[in-house]
């Protein structure tokens, strides 16, 4: 009895083209990092009231992660200038769904207080502030990854919204991006495959 085995044709050019194309994020090795959001703003925020949390203008971002198992790295960088001896400053980062109103159903994921004092002159530090936090947001209702029944990532339910607040204990005005530099406030979110 004769057995014939047929093998599908093999096109070397197609295989090379497949290898040179983009690797889907879900097939990347664990630890792979992908930038999923970056925002720059020139807006200025004045924290004028003592012991009152003030939302930093446009220090926020909405992102749509690719995988539910991912870890997100959120980084916010901005300059601060204090007028007349500001002391004790604090920062918070909040997470909510992009569809929720500001402050509604928000989860505080970062809370930092610095009790230093800045000068007695007209203008002084604290200088550049860098806030960095890691977050796994998928315990929120309505947050889904890219595979949740939609191929277009901008159309797959709620995004994740991050925003920052600051406060001061005493002193005069405390400004975020006082000079209104075009990239005076930078918010970056990276997705790290787990």
What pLDDT does residue 7 have?
A: 67
Looking at the chain, list the stretches that DSSP marks H as alpha helix, in order from N- to C-terminal side. 12-20
Between residues 72 and 156, the one the model is more confident about: 72
The average pLDDT across 146-172 equals 70
Between residues 136 and 13, the one the model is more confident about: 136
The average pLDDT across 89-118 equals 84
What pLDDT does residue 62 have?
A: 92
Between residues 20 and 92, the one the model is more confident about: 92
Q: Do you find a cis peptide bond into 126, omega within 30 degrees of 0?
A: yes
Closest among 110, 128, 118 to 83, alpha carbons compared:
118
The average pLDDT across 165-190 equals 91
Q: Where are the beta strands (DSSP E) in the chain?
A: 33-41, 45-47, 54-63, 71-83, 86-97, 107-118, 123-135, 160-170, 174-176, 185-192
Please report which confidence band the pLDDT of residue 66 belongs to, taking 50, 70 and 90 as the band edges: confident
């Amino acid at each position: 009895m004769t057995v014939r085995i047929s093998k599908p044709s093999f096109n070397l050019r197609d295989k090379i083209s497949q290898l040179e194309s983009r690797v889907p994020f879900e097939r990347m090795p664990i630890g792979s990092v992908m930038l999923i959001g970056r925002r720059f703003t020139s807006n200025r925020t004045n924290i004028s009231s003592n012991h009152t949390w003030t939302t930093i203008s446009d220090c926020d971002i909405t992102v749509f992660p690719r995988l539910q198992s991912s870890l997100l790295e959120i980084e916010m960088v901005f300059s601060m200038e204090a007028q007349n001896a500001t002391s004790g400053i604090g920062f918070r980062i909040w997470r909510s769904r992009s569809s929720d109103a500001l402050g509604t159903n928000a989860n505080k994921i970062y809370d930092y207080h610095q009790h230093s004092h800045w000068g007695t002159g007209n203008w002084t530090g604290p200088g550049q502030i860098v806030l960095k936090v890691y977050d796994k947001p998928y315990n929120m209702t309505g947050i889904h990854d890219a595979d949740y029944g939609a191929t277009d990532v901008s159309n797959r339910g709620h995004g994740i919204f991050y925003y920052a607040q600051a406060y001061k204990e005493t002193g005069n005005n405390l400004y975020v991006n006082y000079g209104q530099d075009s990239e005076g406030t930078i918010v970056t979110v990276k997705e790290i495959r787990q």
